[in-house]
Structure 1
């Protein structure tokens, strides 16, 4: 089916005026070329769209149906340049954002609210992934932006610190450690069963805790990758666990959160991470909109 935008505009003008002379004047053209446009359009569509004689013009049933679609196609065509300009400028588009499960405890919702307010025409598509998966997807071009844990390859990625928080010890609320009126030290945990972060699937937290708090790996009774799983096990009395301070927002019953002394006061970091070679024009706008959220 072949027809041009000029033919569609000519048909809409005739259909609305129901008069070739008035339609031609409206389009600032003469009547003979307008008549030829309508003939070519009907030939391309394969049906009569207009009934006309020397005194009147009317739409056929097919013409009435085609008028609806012609108006829609013209509206799309007329808005396409503006849409392309908005996409090119980064004000309209899609950003694929990955996040770790722990980042949902406060920071993710605040980030999404900020983007919705500042860039309402940029759609954010969400993916839950651990940092290792995010890095692979960003490198492959399957993601635009990540909320991830360091370290990152500076040759492939750019990153900005988004959030920093304390490391706490989660214990069951009737645990004897919950009765101590002071910050905990490593010596308090010598005989405690530990619910630890998996060295393979939660490497960032594993390395962080090992560097911050000297613990006996022989005390590890469970190794898991998700904070929610750790807290569920703590609630069941299976042991104690190191968690980021944002985990206090989850509200798992029978769990208390205790301060623990670490060489760095807020050692847990969350970064915005993106590929250096990103071609998504909306990404710089997103990063600029989030600038004031960064410490």
Structure 2
């Protein structure tokens, strides 16, 4: 199937007359009829009902017309955007990231890209891992920063860094000296990520607690790492967060203890569409990859 088959089909579908369609396409009628016949044969579906008086679309033809029109609209949109980005005239580049990634890194990335591509509009979205994968597959974002494994034939993944875990607590309400004292916290209130929002991460936290010999009493849940840390600071519980957060949180009221005994890590990865070879994407990935946390 070639684009010309689709163009010829749309012309006939619009005119519902082979003579008028052939005039519109500047070809004679026999080749047009032949092209439509080839298309029907390839699809193994009759697209038109033809008799001496009129031409009508079949139900299959009506469906094919709708989808083909959408296809051409998407092709036009893609062509226009590709041309604009290539010319560095305008365009939009959408980056999604998880809340547990330190914001200064994202800010540095945008500054780097803006210096290279001053006319491109960069947009940032804080989005969960599962929603990022879905958005990238549907073309709603150009790049994502996620945590946990990914299984998608449409996505290319670049490992950025492996992140460990740390216990986070309020120093004024919790007395703990080292990782060896964690079991003493088994009756404390825990603040976790919502399991529907980040199912893999939620399971890892449960696995961590099991390693230390207890099941956490989860009272509060949140969908944002900063909200979790704030709840801990307010004395509403303790939590386990990525060690990357501990390294970048200077708050004197909050304590962190890295969990070194358990051999559990999460992969923080940069994801892009498998077929995306744009200069902006390449520049973004190359900027981040050397900055292994």
Tell me the TM-score normalised to structure 2 length.
Answer: 0.60
Equivalent pair of 2:171/2:255 in contact (CA under 8 Å):
yes
Instruction: Please name the residue that 1:196 is paired with.
Output: 192
Equivalent pair of 1:232/1:252 in contact (CA under 8 Å):
no
Distance 2:284 2:87 in 1: 12
Distance 1:151 1:84 in 2: 30
Distance 2:153 2:142 in 1: 16
> Relative to structure 1, is the Cα distance of residues 134 and 219 closer, same or farther in structure 2, using a 3 angstrom cutoff?
same
Tell me how many residue pairs correspond in the alignment.
210
SS of corresponding position for 1:98: strand
Instruction: Please name the residue that 2:171 is paired with.
Output: 173
Highest Rg: 1 or 2?
A: 1
TM-fit CA distance, 1:247: 2.7
TM alignment of 1:252-271, pairs within 5 A: 254-264=253-263, 267-271=265-269
Tell me the TM-score normalised to structure 1 length.
Answer: 0.60
> Relative to structure 1, is the Cα distance of residues 283 and 105 closer, same or farther in structure 2, using a 3 angstrom cutoff?
closer
Equivalent pair of 1:90/1:281 in contact (CA under 8 Å):
no
Distance 2:261 2:104 in 1: 23
Cα deviation code 1:13-57 (max 9, x no counterpart): xxxxxxxxxxxxxxxxxxxxxxxxxxxxxxxxxxxxxxxxxxxxx
Instruction: Please name the residue that 2:15 is paired with.
Output: none
Any unmatched runs of 5+ in structure 2? 1-80
Equivalent pair of 1:192/1:240 in contact (CA under 8 Å):
yes
RMSD of equivalent CA atoms: 3.1
Any unmatched runs of 5+ in structure 1? 1-82
Instruction: Please name the residue that 1:21 is paired with.
Output: none
Instruction: Please name the residue that 1:128 is paired with.
Output: 126
Cα deviation code 1:217-271 (max 9, x no counterpart): 4511112221122122212222110112333435556322222234337x24321
